[in-house]
């Protein structure tokens, strides 16, 4: 009897029990996942005794053992196990890793990966078990979540703007609950501060009501770092929609919202967009980590290898995702790195690339596109990439010049000209997206703060982790103004005609964003009225703080921690809307007519 004949007879013999067994395992899989989440929350979020720790680790071993058994059962009942293994290769790889780790842990009490790390004499090697356990679980959960079309079919009827809003708000809420666990902070945290810090991390803003380095434990800092990564990738909202589209197709109503994150051409290129974004993000972050690791001084707080690895990872992820949060006391103003200009330069490059927009990075640096442009000299970069690149450079130069002119006799007075230029470029770039600062923003002169307000309002590239109305939006509006002045019938820029619908959308984004800021500033003037009256805050402080929050920049004149609870809630709302986008909220609230092909009689009125 051949192997194939044996397989056929075996599958026929167990066929009657297939449906019942798989349904039972599926139900137990849901229960196991719930119990695993509860166990991990208790293990990492609350103090546990050594005896409790042993029992918890045994329970976690059992949970992982069930996942391995479930996967093997699915192979057993499949009529084409080879095809099944190919289609579930990531789940299979995770199962193999868990099996190897489980065998090693049973024998030695340590995970195989932790033993390899320990062999490198890294102080954190002993605690690496605790890092890998949730990492493996969430990897399994992610693979399970994005496998199978049926999981996404019910979402096809949900408005895509609602998916964005619910996913981001849900992530902020879960992050706040996680940060409120006893083991996450040194002295505890108020609910409003937990919500604020979670919103700041998810929206990659960078405003903070508490010092991350001193008030949060390593576990709490890791939670913040995870929220930054998920928020920067927009992995929950953006990724869920893309996987939904991959499974069930893209309807016309999805285009209007998803095109606020990527351009139409990129959306229609294929099903690999989200995977490419994740891969490129990881590449940039790994490259940033390597450079930052070797640039950190090997003295003081960076003497231990594990500390240099941790801080390099944290700053690489925070910088590329434009979060502006730091694991060091004082952030970029910390004495150990404040004069490390090569370190600061790598940070600058990371948040410049992160704020440029991933789709535009594909266009400019993807190898096959570079090769195509070199082979065909007549080909140039895409229109959307060109408008983002050119206006990014214009704003970069504008901020740099203003900083040099007005700060050379102020904050830059004791700097050399090389340092003045570097600081000016750094501040000009960080003002539009990152929020990393080299010294106190409150020390800047009023003209510089006003220009920085404008740069924060504009923001960085579309499809990036940054906020604001976006560079391309301003570019379209500028082209509209110039075309109007020149009395042209159509809006033109870079020898291209801009569709009227795009101009209307750009105008709508700007108006919504401006109104949102005015409403938020008005609310802050009420919640912080007593502080304004007593001179603790200036009105400029209030304006700067809200625009920074709404633009998800994270710069502050130093009033964030002093805000009232109501004022903090106002900024949480601003950061939330800044993350999901004002136009996304407008799409959700809009009522669509059955037919929009009609046209009213033309009307005319005086303007200006």
- What mean pLDDT comes out for the span 277-294? 87
Is residue 208 one of the residues assigned to a domain? no
Q: What is the pLDDT of residue 604?
A: 59
**E strand or H helix that includes residue 498:** strand 496-498
* Helices and strands (H, E) in the chain, number of each type: 27, 2
Question: Is residue 123 very low, low, confident or very high in pLDDT (cuts 50, 70, 90)?
Answer: very low
Within 8 A by CB and 6+ apart from 147, the residues are 88, 91
Per the structure block, which two tokens stand in for 72? 């093997």
- What mean pLDDT comes out for the span 428-441? 82
Q: What is the pLDDT of residue 525?
A: 93
For residue 80, is pLDDT > 90? no
Q: What is the pLDDT of residue 454?
A: 92
Within 8 A by CB and 6+ apart from 40, the residues are 60, 133, 134, 137
Model pTM greater than 0.85? no
Q: What is the pLDDT of residue 160?
A: 62
Q: Is 264 exposed, middle or buried (0-12, 13-18, 19+ CB in 10 A)?
A: exposed
Q: If you count them, how many residues does the chain have?
A: 608
Average confidence score pLDDT of the chain: 79
Q: What is the pLDDT of residue 161?
A: 65
- What mean pLDDT comes out for the span 171-192? 91
Q: For 11-63, how does the pLDDT look when each residue is reduced to its tens digit (9 = 90+)?
A: 777 777 888 888 888 888 889 888 988 988 888 888 888 888 888 888 888 88
Domain closes at, from 147, 175, 190: 147
- What mean pLDDT comes out for the span 531-557? 89
For residue 6, is pLDDT > 60? yes
For residue 386, is pLDDT > 50? yes
Q: Which of the residue ranges 6-15, 118-127, 357-366, 545-554 would you say has the lowest mean pLDDT?
A: 118-127
Is residue 160 one of the residues assigned to a domain? no
One DSSP character per residue, 258-304 reads HTTTS-HHHHTS-S-HHHHHHHHHHHHHHHHHHHHHHHS-SSGGG-S
Domain closes at, from 89, 122, 147: 147
- CA gyration radius, the chain: 26
Is residue 417 one of the residues assigned to a domain? yes
For residue 216, is pLDDT > 50? yes
For residue 251, is pLDDT > 60? no
Q: Which residues, in sequence order, are bridge partners of residue 493?
A: 496
Q: What is the pLDDT of residue 159?
A: 63
Q: What is the span of the domain harbouring residue 64?
A: 1-147
Q: Is 339 exposed, middle or buried (0-12, 13-18, 19+ CB in 10 A)?
A: exposed
Q: Which of the residue ranges 139-143, 290-294, 308-312, 400-404 would you say has the lowest mean pLDDT?
A: 139-143
For residue 115, is pLDDT > 50? yes
- Report the candidate in 203, 205, 200, 197 with the shortest Cα–Cα distance to residue 176: 197
Q: What is the pLDDT of residue 567?
A: 93
Domain closes at, from 103, 123, 147: 147
CA distance 165 to 575: 12
- What mean pLDDT comes out for the span 397-415? 89
Is residue 301 one of the residues assigned to a domain? no
For residue 391, is pLDDT > 80? yes
For residue 219, is pLDDT > 60? yes
Per the structure block, which two tokens stand in for 299? 């003295």
Per the structure block, which two tokens stand in for 483? 């075309």
**For the chain, the helix, strand and coil percentages under 3-state DSSP, each to the nearest 5:** 70, 0, 30
Question: Is residue 157 very low, low, confident or very high in pLDDT (cuts 50, 70, 90)?
Answer: low
Is residue 458 one of the residues assigned to a domain? yes
- What mean pLDDT comes out for the span 102-107? 74
Q: For 457-509, how does the pLDDT look when each residue is reduced to its tens digit (9 = 90+)?
A: 988 877 677 778 888 888 889 989 888 888 888 888 888 888 888 888 888 88
For the chain, the domain total comes to 2
Question: Is residue 297 very low, low, confident or very high in pLDDT (cuts 50, 70, 90)?
Answer: confident
Q: What is the pLDDT of residue 244?
A: 47
Q: For 530-540, how does the pLDDT look when each residue is reduced to its tens digit (9 = 90+)?
A: 999 988 888 99
Q: What is the pLDDT of residue 599?
A: 65
For residue 405, is pLDDT > 70? yes
One DSSP character per residue, 508-562 reads HHHHHHHHHHHHHHHHHHHHTHHHHHTTSS-HHHHHHHHHHHHTT----SS-GGG
Question: Is residue 273 very low, low, confident or very high in pLDDT (cuts 50, 70, 90)?
Answer: low
Q: Which residues, in sequence order, are bridge partners of residue 216?
A: 185
CA distance 200 to 179: 13
For residue 546, is pLDDT > 90? yes
Q: Is 73 exposed, middle or buried (0-12, 13-18, 19+ CB in 10 A)?
A: middle
Q: What is the pLDDT of residue 99?
A: 81
Is residue 293 one of the residues assigned to a domain? no
Q: What is the pLDDT of residue 584?
A: 63
How many angstroms separate the first and last alpha carbons of the chain?
Answer: 90
- What mean pLDDT comes out for the span 508-532? 91
Q: What is the pLDDT of residue 122?
A: 47
CA distance 231 to 165: 12
For residue 78, is pLDDT > 50? yes
Is residue 438 one of the residues assigned to a domain? yes
Tell which wins on pLDDT, 365 or 236: 365
Is residue 168 one of the residues assigned to a domain? no
To which residue do tokens 């996450």 refer?
A: 184
The percent of residues above 90 in pLDDT, for the chain, comes to 16
CA distance 373 to 286: 28
Q: For 237-247, how does the pLDDT look when each residue is reduced to its tens digit (9 = 90+)?
A: 454 454 444 44
- Report the candidate in 549, 391, 403 with the shortest Cα–Cα distance to residue 468: 549
Q: What is the pLDDT of residue 95?
A: 81
């Amino acid at each position: 009897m051949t192997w194939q004949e044996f397989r056929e007879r075996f599958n026929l013999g167990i066929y009657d029990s297939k449906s019942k067994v798989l349904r039972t395992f599926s139900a137990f899989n849901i229960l196991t996942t719930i119990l695993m989440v509860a166990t991990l929350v208790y293990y990492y979020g609350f103090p546990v005794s050594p005896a409790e720790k042993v029992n918890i680790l045994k329970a976690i071993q059992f949970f992982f053992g069930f996942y391995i058994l479930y996967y093997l059962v699915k192979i057993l009942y499949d009529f084409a196990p080879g095809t099944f293994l190919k289609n579930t290769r990531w789940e299979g790889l995770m199962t193999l890793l868990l099996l190897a780790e489980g065998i090693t842990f049973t024998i030695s009490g340590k995970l195989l990966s932790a033993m390899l790390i320990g062999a490198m004499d890294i102080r954190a090697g002993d605690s690496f078990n605790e890092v890998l356990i949730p990492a493996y679980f969430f990897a399994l959960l992610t693979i399970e979540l994005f496998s199978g079309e049926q999981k996404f079919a019910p979402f096809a009827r949900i408005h895509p703007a609602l998916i964005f809003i619910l996913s981001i708000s849900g992530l902020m809420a879960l992050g706040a609950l996680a940060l409120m666990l006893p083991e996450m902070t040194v002295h505890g945290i108020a609910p409003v501060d937990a919500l604020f810090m979670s919103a700041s991390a998810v929206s990659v803003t960078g405003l903070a009501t508490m010092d991350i380095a001193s008030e949060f434990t390593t576990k709490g800092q890791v939670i913040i770092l995870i929220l930054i990564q998920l928020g920067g990738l927009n992995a929950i909202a953006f990724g869920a929609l893309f996987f939904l589209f991959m499974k069930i197709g893209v309807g016309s109503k999805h285009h209007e919202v998803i095109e606020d994150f990527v351009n139409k051409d990129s959306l229609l290129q294929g099903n690999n967009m989200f995977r490419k974004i994740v891969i490129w993000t990881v590449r940039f972050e790994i490259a940033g980590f390597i450079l930052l690791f070797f640039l950190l001084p090997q003295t003081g707080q960076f003497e231990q290898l594990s500390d240099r690895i941790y801080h390099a990872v944290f700053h690489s992820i925070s910088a590329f995702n434009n979060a502006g949060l730091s694991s060091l006391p004082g952030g970029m103003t910390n004495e150990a790195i404040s004069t490390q200009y090569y370190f600061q330069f790598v940070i600058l490059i990371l948040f410049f690339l992160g704020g440029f927009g991933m789709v535009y990075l594909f266009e400019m640096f993807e190898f096959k596109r570079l090769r195509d442009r070199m082979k065909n000299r007549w080909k140039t970069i895409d229109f959307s990439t060109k408008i983002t690149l050119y206006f990014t450079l214009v704003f970069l130069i504008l901020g740099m010049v203003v900083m040099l002119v007005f700060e050379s006799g102020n904050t830059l007075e004791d700097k050399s000209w090389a340092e003045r230029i570097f600081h000016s470029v750094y501040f000009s770039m960080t003002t539009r997206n990152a929020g990393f600062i080299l010294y106190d923003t409150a020390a800047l002169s009023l003209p510089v703060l006003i220009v920085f307000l404008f740069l924060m309002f504009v923001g960085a590239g579309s499809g990036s982790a940054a906020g604001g109305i976006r560079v391309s939006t301003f570019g379209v509006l500028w082209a509209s103004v110039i075309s109007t002045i020149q009395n042209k019938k159509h809006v033109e820029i870079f020898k291209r005609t801009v569709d009227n619908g795009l101009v209307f959308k750009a105008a709508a984004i700007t108006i919504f964003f401006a109104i949102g800021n005015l409403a938020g500033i008005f609310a802050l003037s009420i919640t912080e009225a007593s502080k304004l009256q007593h001179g603790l805050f200036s009105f400029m402080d209030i304006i700067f703080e809200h625009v920074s929050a709404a633009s998800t920049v994270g710069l502050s004149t130093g009033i964030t921690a002093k805000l009232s609870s109501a004022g903090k809630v106002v900024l949480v709302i601003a950061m939330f809307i800044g993350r999901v986008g004002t136009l996304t909220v407008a799409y959700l609230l809009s009522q669509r007519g059955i037919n929009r092909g009609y046209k009213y009689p033309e009307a005319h009125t005086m303007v200006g």
